[in-house]
């Protein structure tokens, strides 16, 4: 078959038109949204950092497929922090200085606390999606720093509601020797003692600890009837695995924060059944926004549901994109202005980002690992309404 | 108290099996192998993968054999060329290998954590006093003792062991006596990496599998080797047992500084006895 020049030209034009039709049209006059993600891609929290990565990639792809955010293309760059505060500061600076000034997604609270004082100097903005230490939106708060996940004091209020229903009077605390772990242990102790219960022993293991046997033996000897666990990632798995081998999980009531997540349950299997925990986000949340998110997630990552940290990180991206649309700018100062005091559509429903401390006001949940739709999942059994779960702003926060 | 001592022996035993491989490598090749943590991690993953098909014990055998083969290859391709170069180059190359191993595991198995079950036969607990102690933990102690005794017997009562001890003191003079030290080294390095594999697969039911699991235990195994005395098999055994106990009792009695205690012990030993607990020529 011989194709004439005219036919060839018309064919090329057709291909170009189809290609242009199928590729999202981003505005050439608008700056791209550059998101920097300094997170733990390796180290003891490596699995959590990779959950952050999955959620950010999901949100970015979802936005770009729909033609971007306010016509702007979303670009993202990841840097490994190994969950170390000094590394988070270095990687955050590297990202900000290379134009990725909208920072999201560190894991350890110490990392977020290391970023906060530097944000204005870097002309950057930071959205915490995992950091729990109260200080982030308390004494160390910053006009450029926002938190969309639940702080420790929110978890404490959920614990208080749940603990009232439990009979055990003597408790032990097993926490990570980090700002978050100590904060969570102290909050639990205050809450328990306020109800006439006691914390008979406490153990705080270094991040990345391999051996929890000495702590487990202490708990056995102390006569504790319940254990509050503030461990995440590999530490949480190591503790649960070893405690199960000592028969401890069957003898005492075990509950925790960041402990009952889809990923922990998937790794531990039957060992995790019956463990109680704060569920900050669950793929089973009954809101239209969450149902749409879970369905879209299943298409990108077949056979999986978004985990606790993936859901929370997605909320951060939802808030960021809506703030950029509202600000009509990607400059961190403008985006921060749009975020503070704003109202946003999230997987939790309509949620306010409180201006006084830049904390997202959302409900909190408590539940336990149980069989759900044929598999083990964290199942919500108690919902703490948003006014109880996120009480008034911390007075120590001076913007 | 007895339970805490046993827990210390479990951790110390695990450290010993890993560290004695490092001692073998340093003794024969004078290589400070930063990739050893990676070999521990590869051993755990290889054992896990094989156990899916052949059960836990099949996984143990596969892991040990696979790591021995890998060790022989590493000796030929990496350690032998490195034995006479500057130590800093050795450190950089072996650290690079650790990163390669981590990326390999990350690519094959992903970053998600993996939990390995204790084999059904060893899954229960046994009563010691009024406390229940996991049977599997006693097996870890038994494996460490078996490795220590087996290695000691091999080193002291076999001809190959004699050559290894001679070569680790003075390789050149040993070669001048007609010993094929290159061939000997391949075998010894393979044994060292096989022990790294064994420690990984034995530790797998106790600690979650992740690509970074090797880095987290590497520092502790170096503390064992340095405290015991570089190149000393007896020193590594004593140091591992002492550090296991220091770790356990530190958590119980000095919880706020427990993570520093092994390091303080190492510094104290080096000030008191710069060649380590067991004096060597190193």
Residue A12 lies in a domain: no
In tens, the pLDDT along A240-279 reads: 999 999 999 989 999 998 888 888 888 999 989 999 999 9
Q: Contact, A175 vs A230, CB < 8 A? A: yes
**Residue B182 pLDDT > 60, yes or no?**
yes
**A174 strand-pairing partners:** A203, A229
- Residue A381 Cα to chain centre, angstroms: 21
Residue A226 lies in a domain: yes
- The DSSP element (H or E) to which A200 belongs, if any, is strand A198-205
**A78 strand-pairing partners:** A37
**What is the distance between the alpha carbons of residues A307 and A262, in angstroms, rounded to a whole number?**
5
Q: Please report the pLDDT score of residue A2 as a whole number.
A: 46
Q: Please report the pLDDT score of residue B275 as a whole number.
A: 83
Q: Contact, B83 vs B31, CB < 8 A? A: yes
Give B-chain residues touching A248 at CB under 8 angstroms: none
Closest chain A residue to B120, measured at CA: A245
Give A-chain residues touching B211 at CB under 8 angstroms: 42, 46
| Better-predicted residue by pLDDT, B96 or A29 | B96
**What is the distance between the alpha carbons of residues A296 and B174, in angstroms, rounded to a whole number?**
68
Instruction: Identify whether residues A350 and A223 lie together within a single domain.
Output: no
B82 part of contact set with chain A, CB < 8 Å: no
Closest CB to B251 among A215, A237, A238: A215
B158 part of contact set with chain A, CB < 8 Å: no
- The answer to whether B255 contacts A237, with C-beta atoms less than 8 Å apart, is no
Give the CATH number of the domain where residue A333 resides.
3.40.50.2300
| Better-predicted residue by pLDDT, A5 or B169 | B169
pLDDT band at B99 (very low <50, low <70, confident <90, very high): very high
Instruction: Identify whether residues A191 and A268 lie together within a single domain.
Output: yes
**What is the distance between the alpha carbons of residues A275 and B146, in angstroms, rounded to a whole number?**
38
In tens, the pLDDT along B102-130 reads: 999 999 998 889 999 999 889 889 998 88
CB neighbourhood size of A14 (10 A)? 10
Q: Please report the pLDDT score of residue B279 as a whole number.
A: 61
| Chain A residues interacting with chain B (CB cutoff of 8 angstroms) | 41-44, 46-47, 49-50, 177, 203-206, 208, 210-211, 213-215, 217-218, 220, 233-234, 237-238, 241-242, 245-247, 263, 266-269, 271
Instruction: Identify whether residues A235 and A271 lie together within a single domain.
Output: yes
Of A218, A194, A195, which is closest to residue A205 (Cα–Cα)? A218
Q: In sequence order, which ranges of chain A are alpha helices (DSSP H)?
A: 5-22, 46-65, 85-97, 109-115, 119-122, 152-163, 179-194, 213-222, 233-245, 248-251, 262-268, 288-300, 308-327, 332-339, 386-389
ipTM of the complex, rounded to two decimals: 0.89
- The answer to whether A246 contacts B125, with C-beta atoms less than 8 Å apart, is yes
Query: Which residues of chain A fall short of a pLDDT of 70?
Result: 1-25
Residue A5 lies in a domain: no
Q: Please report the pLDDT score of residue A13 as a whole number.
A: 52
Min Cα–Cα distance to chain B from A333, Å: 35
User: Tokens 């510094």 correspond to what residue?
Assistant: B267
Domain extent, residue A383, equals 153-279+366-389
Instruction: Identify whether residues A106 and A233 lie together within a single domain.
Output: no
In tens, the pLDDT along B79-88 reads: 888 877 888 8
Instruction: Identify whether residues A38 and A86 lie together within a single domain.
Output: yes
Closest chain A residue to B8, measured at CA: A214
Min Cα–Cα distance to chain A from B135, Å: 9
Q: Please report the pLDDT score of residue A252 as a whole number.
A: 94
Query: In the structure encoding, which two tokens stand for residue B55, read together?
Result: 């059960």
Number of H helices, E strands in chain A: 15, 15
Q: Please report the pLDDT score of residue A19 as a whole number.
A: 47
Residue A330 lies in a domain: yes
**What is the distance between the alpha carbons of residues A180 and A42, in angstroms, rounded to a whole number?**
19
Q: Please report the pLDDT score of residue A7 as a whole number.
A: 54
**Residue B8 pLDDT > 90, yes or no?**
yes
Min Cα–Cα distance to chain B from A54, Å: 11
Instruction: Identify whether residues A175 and A224 lie together within a single domain.
Output: yes
Of B21, B12, B82, B74, which is closest to residue B246 (Cα–Cα)? B12
Q: Contact, A241 vs B206, CB < 8 A? A: yes
Q: In sequence order, which ranges of chain B are alpha helices (DSSP H)?
A: 2-29, 36-74, 80-82, 87-109, 135-157, 159-169, 171-176, 181-203, 213-228, 233-253, 261-272
- The answer to whether A46 contacts B211, with C-beta atoms less than 8 Å apart, is yes
Output b/e per residue, A248-272; b: 16+ Cβ within 10 A: bbeebbbbbbbbbbbbbbbbbeebb
Of A358, A353, A365, which is closest to residue A389 (Cα–Cα)? A365
Query: In the structure encoding, which two tokens stand for residue A270, read together?
Result: 């039957």
Q: Please report the pLDDT score of residue B170 as a whole number.
A: 82
Substitution target in A45, A203, A208, A210 with the highest count of B β-carbons within 10 Å is A210
**What is the distance between the alpha carbons of residues A231 and A258, in angstroms, rounded to a whole number?**
7
Min Cα–Cα distance to chain A from B197, Å: 17
Instruction: Identify whether residues A157 and A269 lie together within a single domain.
Output: yes
Give B-chain residues touching A217 at CB under 8 angstroms: 3-4, 7, 131, 252
**What is the distance between the alpha carbons of residues A384 and A355, in angstroms, rounded to a whole number?**
22
Q: Count structural domains, chain A.
A: 2
**What is the distance between the alpha carbons of residues A83 and A44, in angstroms, rounded to a whole number?**
8
Alpha-carbon torsion angle A342, A347, A349, A353, nearest 10: -20
CA distances from residue A239 to A110, B259, B276 in whole angstroms, order as listed: 22, 17, 33
Average pLDDT, rounded, for chain B: 90
Of B232, B230, B243, which is closest to residue B270 (Cα–Cα)? B230
Residue A394 lies in a domain: no
Residue A24 lies in a domain: no
Instruction: Identify whether residues A291 and A329 lie together within a single domain.
Output: yes
Q: Please report the pLDDT score of residue B282 as a whole number.
A: 42
Closest chain A residue to B111, measured at CA: A47
**A369 strand-pairing partners:** A378
CA distances from residue A361 to A13, A106, A180, A197 in whole angstroms, order as listed: 52, 20, 20, 29
Give B-chain residues touching A268 at CB under 8 angstroms: 115
Instruction: Identify whether residues A198 and A275 lie together within a single domain.
Output: yes
- Residue A314 Cα to chain centre, angstroms: 8
- The answer to whether B3 contacts A50, with C-beta atoms less than 8 Å apart, is no
Q: How many CB pairs under 8 A join A and B?
A: 106
Mean pLDDT of B47-75: 95
User: Residue A188, class by beta-carbon neighbours within 10 Å (0-12 exposed, 13-18 middle, 19+ buried)?
Assistant: buried
Give B-chain residues touching A271 at CB under 8 angstroms: 115
Closest CB to A47 among B136, B210, B217: B210
**What is the distance between the alpha carbons of residues A94 and A102, in angstroms, rounded to a whole number?**
12
- The answer to whether B248 contacts A213, with C-beta atoms less than 8 Å apart, is yes
Q: Where are the domains of chain B?
A: 2-211
Instruction: Identify whether residues A203 and A342 lie together within a single domain.
Output: no
Instruction: Identify whether residues A263 and A338 lie together within a single domain.
Output: no
Closest CB to B206 among A41, A42, A242: A242
- The answer to whether A267 contacts B134, with C-beta atoms less than 8 Å apart, is no
User: Tokens 């980090």 correspond to what residue?
Assistant: A178
- The answer to whether A247 contacts B111, with C-beta atoms less than 8 Å apart, is no
CB-side neighbour CA atoms (13 Å) of B116:
29
* Total residue count of chain A as it appears in this document: 399
**Residue B281 pLDDT > 80, yes or no?**
no
Alpha-carbon torsion angle B230, B233, B239, B242, nearest 10: 180
- Residue B129 Cα to chain centre, angstroms: 31
- The answer to whether B210 contacts A218, with C-beta atoms less than 8 Å apart, is no
Of B165, B225, B241, B189, which is closest to residue B20 (Cα–Cα)? B225
Instruction: Identify whether residues A259 and A376 lie together within a single domain.
Output: yes
């Amino acid at each position: 078959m011989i194709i004439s020049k005219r036919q060839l030209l018309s064919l090329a034009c057709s291909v170009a038109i189809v290609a242009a039709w199928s590729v999202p049209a981003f505005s050439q006059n608008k700056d791209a949204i550059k998101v920097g993600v300094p997170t733990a891609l390796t180290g003891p929290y490596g699995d959590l950092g990779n959950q952050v990565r999955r959620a950010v990639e999901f949100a970015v792809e979802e936005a770009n497929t729909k033609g971007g955010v306010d016509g702007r293309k979303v670009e993202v760059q990841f840097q490994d922090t190994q969950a170390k505060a000094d590394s988070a500061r270095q990687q955050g600076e590297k990202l900000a200085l290379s134009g990725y000034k909208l920072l999201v997604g560190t894991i350890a609270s110490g990392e977020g606390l290391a970023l906060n004082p530097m944000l204005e100097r870097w002309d950057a903005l930071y959205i915490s999606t995992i950091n729990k230490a109260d200080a982030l939106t308390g004494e160390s708060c910053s006009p450029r720093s926002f938190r969309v996940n639940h702080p420790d004091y929110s978890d404490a209020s959920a614990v208080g509601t749940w603990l009232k229903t439990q009979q055990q009077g003597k408790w032990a605390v097993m926490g990570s020797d980090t700002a978050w772990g100590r904060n969570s242990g102290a909050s639990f102790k205050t809450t328990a003692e306020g109800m006439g219960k006691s914390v008979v022993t406490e153990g705080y293991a270094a991040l990345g600890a391999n051996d929890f046997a000495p702590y487990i033996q202490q708990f056995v000897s102390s006569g504790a009837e319940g254990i509050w666990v503030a461990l995440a990632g590999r530490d949480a798995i190591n503790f649960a695995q070893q405690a199960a081998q000592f028969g401890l999980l069957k003898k005492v009531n075990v509950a925790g924060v960041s402990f009952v997540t889809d990923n922990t349950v998937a790794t531990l299997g039957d060992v995790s059944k019956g463990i109680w925990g704060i569920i900050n986000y669950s793929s089973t949340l009954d809101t239209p926004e969450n149902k749409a998110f879970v369905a879209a997630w299943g298409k990108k990552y077949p056979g999986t549901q978004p985990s606790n940290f993936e859901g929370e990180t997605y909320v951060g991206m939802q808030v960021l994109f809506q703030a950029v649309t509202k600000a009509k700018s990607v400059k961190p100062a403008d985006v921060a202005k749009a975020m503070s005091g704003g109202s946003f559509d999230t997987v939790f429903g309509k949620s306010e980002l409180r201006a006084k401390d830049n904390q997202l006001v959302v409900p909190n949940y408590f539940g336990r690992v149980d069989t759900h739709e044929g598999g083990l999942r964290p199942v919500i059994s108690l919902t703490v309404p948003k006014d109880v779960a996120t009480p008034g702003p911390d007075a120590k926060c001076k913007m | 108290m007895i339970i805490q001592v046993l827990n210390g022996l479990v951790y110390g035993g695990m450290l010993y099996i890993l560290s004695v491989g490092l001692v073998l490598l340093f003794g024969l090749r004078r290589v400070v192998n930063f990739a050893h943590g990676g070999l521990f991690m590869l051993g755990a993953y290889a054992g896990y993968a094989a156990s899916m098909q052949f059960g836990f014990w099949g996984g143990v055998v596969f892991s040990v054999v696979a790591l021995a083969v890998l060790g022989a290859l590493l000796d030929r391709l990496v350690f032998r060329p490195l034995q006479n170069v500057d130590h800093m180059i050795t450190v950089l190359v072996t650290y690079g290998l650790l990163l390669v191993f981590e990326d390999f595991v990350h690519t094959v198995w992903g970053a998600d954590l993996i939990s390995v079950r204790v084999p059904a036969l060893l899954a229960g607990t046994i009563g010691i006093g009024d406390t229940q102690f996991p049977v599997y933990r006693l097996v870890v102690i038994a494996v460490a003792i078996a490795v220590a005794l087996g290695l000691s017997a091999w080193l002291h009562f076999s001809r190959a062991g004699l050559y290894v001890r001679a070569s680790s003191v003075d390789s050149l003079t040993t070669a001048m006596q007609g010993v094929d030290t290159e061939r000997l080294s391949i075998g010894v390095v393979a044994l060292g990496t096989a022990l790294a594999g064994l420690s990984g697969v034995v530790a797998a039911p106790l600690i979650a599998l992740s690509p970074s699991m090797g880095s987290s235990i590497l520092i502790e195994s170096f503390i064992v080797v340095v405290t015991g005395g570089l190149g000393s098999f007896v020193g590594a055994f004593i140091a591992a047992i002492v550090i296991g106990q220091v770790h356990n009792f530190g958590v119980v009695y000095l919880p706020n500084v427990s993570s520093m205690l092994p390091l303080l012990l190492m510094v104290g030993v080096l000030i008191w006895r710069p060649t380590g607990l067991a004096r060597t020529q190193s």
